[in-house]
Structure 1
Amino acid sequence: MGVSGCGKSAVGSLLAGALGVPYVEGDDLHAPENVAKMAAGMPLDDADRAGWLAALREQIAAARAQGSGLVLSCSALKRSYRDVLRVGDPALRFVHLDGPRDVLSRRMQRAGHFMPPSLLDSQLATLQPLQADETGIVLDICQPLAVLLAQILRAP
């Protein structure tokens, strides 16, 4: 979890490979209207995200039912969004990739992604960090990918 540019896709795909489980890129489950809205520089609201969160929850629930495990990358910016995802699997664990705004902004300059850098501030304003009763860890995105992966694999 984390704002755009934090490395969710890179870390998620590495983690899935290390664990030998499927990987789902949460961005792929956004409705075309949501992608168009973000590409136009407009942040999504809770109503926009509702269907997307339901689709993510279903992916999580299906993996739990099959006992297959799953790594899913998505922003999960608010506690209420994470609560929706946990309905799919109450044992869900989160990895919050966190870092300085300037690093995030620089990473968002990538070509070919629908999320414009102009939406970073709205994502940061919406972000609610993991709370003490939420299972997960917070990692520093300034660390190399290999270090982040090792920290996740060592986490309880």
Structure 2
Amino acid sequence: MFNNSNVSKGIEVLSIPFDHSKWDYSQLMNPNDFQWKVGITPFSNLQIVIGSWITYFVVIVGLKRFMKSRTPFTLKGVIAVHNLFLCILSAIMFGYAIIDFFKRWQERGIGECFCTSDDSSLKERDNFSALVPSFYCDPNGLDMATRCKYVC
């Protein structure tokens, strides 16, 4: 059941510090040239995904226990600013998605708006579109972004 190979893989996955020196952040600037490369695309290596999950759950459980016997904080202002930021960012992303939708429709037809063919030059843009929202919406979205394939 357990052999040295499995144990060494587990140790490799949980090794700290996380190697982010190879990350190419310039990939996030131009969605047309985006290519998913494990270990080079930011937040694409398994250590970061597992580390993010562990950190997320430790913080949630820790805060629940910490706040159990304390009075709640008043965070209405912080929450309002956060929600405003998310609304503006979502509106911008929606605007770009609509522009991209109509651009694809004109250039390649309605089929390419929903499914990307294997020979499409827009496949990288689909991967980029799946990756970016996961950074600000869902802490578990990083795992989903690492497994996304939008080829029908």
Please indicate the TM-score interval, normalised by the length of the shorter structure: under 0.3
Q: What is the TM-score when the length of structure 1 is the normalising length?
A: 0.26
Highest CA radius of gyration, 1 or 2? 2
Structure with bigger helix share is: 2
Structure with bigger strand share is: 1
